[in-house]
Amino acid sequence: MRIVDEEGAPAHLGLRPFLIYAPWLAKEIVTSNINVARIILSRVMPLRRNLILVPAKQRSEIGRVIFANSITLTPGTVSVRLEGKEILVHGLSLDESAEDMAGEMGERVSRLERCEDASANECDDDSTESTPNHPGPPNTPGQGES
């Protein structure tokens, strides 16, 4: 099974990361950039440097890597280590808990994984509710049973 194409991109995700996830991530990067600029330009410079373990709930390794890279792309945070289903994150000014940090960004990356084989209209909604992964329609007697 090929996870990445010859250029190193996750080929099985298709264009979905560029059409759905990238614009949202770009907005998060701009917002975080403004927040970091406020911290740096402040007279008091309210730094709360911290290392926290963020749970990575993505089901695949490529999903966890996308999540860790997204954290690093966001100004003020750096993914230091990815081991198993946890990411060690260093933050310039971390007020939120690990669960908060894993919240919307983690769910959006998980949604990319769920959408690998689903039709686009099932995956384009902006709800953050998790839907169970069903392998397909149940077998009816005489079909696919041995």
E-strand ranges in the chain read: 50-55, 77-83, 86-91
pLDDT at 140 over 80: no
Q: What is the pLDDT of residues 65-100, one digit of tens each?
A: 999 999 999 888 899 999 999 999 998 876 666 667
Cα within 13 Å of Cα(78), Cβ side: 5
Q: How far apart are CA 90 and CA 52, in angstroms?
A: 7
Q: Average pLDDT over the chain, rounded to whole?
A: 74
Task: Identify the band that residue 60 occupies on the pLDDT scale cut at 50, 70 and 90.
Answer: confident
Predicted confidence at residue 95, as pLDDT, reads 67
Q: Which amino acid is at 58?
A: Q
pLDDT of res. 18: 72
Give me the count of residues in the chain: 146
